[in-house]
Amino acid sequence: MKKTLLILIPAAIVVLLSFEVKDKIWSQSGNTATSAASRQASVRNTPPVHSYPAFYKGIYLTVSSGRDTATLKRFIAQAKQSHVNTFVIDVQRGASPHCAITKENVDLCLQSGIHPIARVVVFTDGLSHYPVSQELINNRLSVAREACINGFREVQFDYIRFTDYRVRGRVPLEERYQFIEGFLLNARNHLKKYNVKTAADIFGRIPLNKSDAIGQRMEGLDKVVDIICPMAYPSHYTWSRKLQSDPYHTVFLTSKKANERTRKAEIVTWIQAFKIRVDISGLSYDKYVSAQVKATHDAGIRGFILWNARQDYQVPLKALRDYYSSGGTVSKASQAAGNDGTL
């Protein structure tokens, strides 16, 4: 009987060990499968790395167009036919602290190969009352933050300046610079965790002058935003007949000067896609637009955006199609910008 027990005990131990080994094998197999599934889920849930345009070719859209999916799809279809790769979209309605453009519509742009930029108007028509309430600043930052959450990869601050007219209260020029640049630096830090770019719109005369009362200067803005966007509309250069009548020269000079005065920020120039004073150039409207497009390429900057407040882009988009179908490409000009028109 003792011999029988001695024989059975080791056999039982072997059986138990066998079950334990099998259990470990199945457990490891299950863990491996779970780990692989987790990795696959992680890959699926990781948003694709956004690719910014090598050269911005953009148009402006209103908040209504950005909100209405059917309208947005229509502009996307037109963009694909016209080499457009960027939409600058208004994202705020009135004084609402929320982004008015849905994530679904931002995703629609991204999936269609369009780089969406959220346009936030900071001080409507320019800052005329100083100091500024913290409530207003928080409002603009809230809109910008929600735009990033909804998928925008770039936030462009417009009207980030003092008014061109009388400002209530005496504000020294250096204080104006510090306030404007301080807002933009604060906004950049505020949005840093979203890994987005920030941009600032500036008057077209800013690259051509110094000590401007609106509180914008190239060297200061260069330190606080990723992209600077001069509004180089020839019709607005009222102090110079040459700059008003020669769209190529105006856009080239403004863009080139802007580029020369920055070390970090890239330049994406707003160009004129409306008919005001086009006639004094002696060019047809489409050739007027084409001349500006060529100027941005020749100036060696990062791109252009067409501005038309009514979104009437029929002729400007045809101009883009004609320009690029004829072999228009990016080329960096070897010559330095001249001083004609500099203030």
pLDDT over threshold 80, residue 28: no
Q: What pLDDT is recorded for position 339?
A: 53
Q: What residue type is 338 in one-letter code?
A: G
The tens digit of pLDDT for each residue in 245-298 reads 999 999 999 999 999 999 999 999 999 999 999 999 999 999 999 999 999 999
The tens digit of pLDDT for each residue in 49-92 reads 788 999 999 999 999 999 999 999 999 999 999 999 999 999 99
The 10 Å CB-count burial string (b at 16+, else e) for 129-152 is ebeeeeeeeebbbbbbbbbbebbb
Confidence of residue 342 (pLDDT cuts 50, 70, 90): low
Report whether the peptide linkage leading into residue 53 is cis, meaning its omega lies within 30 degrees of zero.
Answer: no
* 3-class secondary structure, 199: strand
**CA triplet 336, 338, 342: central angle to 5 degrees?**
130
Distance of alpha carbon 309 from alpha carbon 290, whole angstroms: 19
The tens digit of pLDDT for each residue in 152-208 reads 999 999 999 999 887 777 899 999 999 999 999 999 999 999 999 999 999 999 999
Q: What pLDDT is recorded for position 187?
A: 98
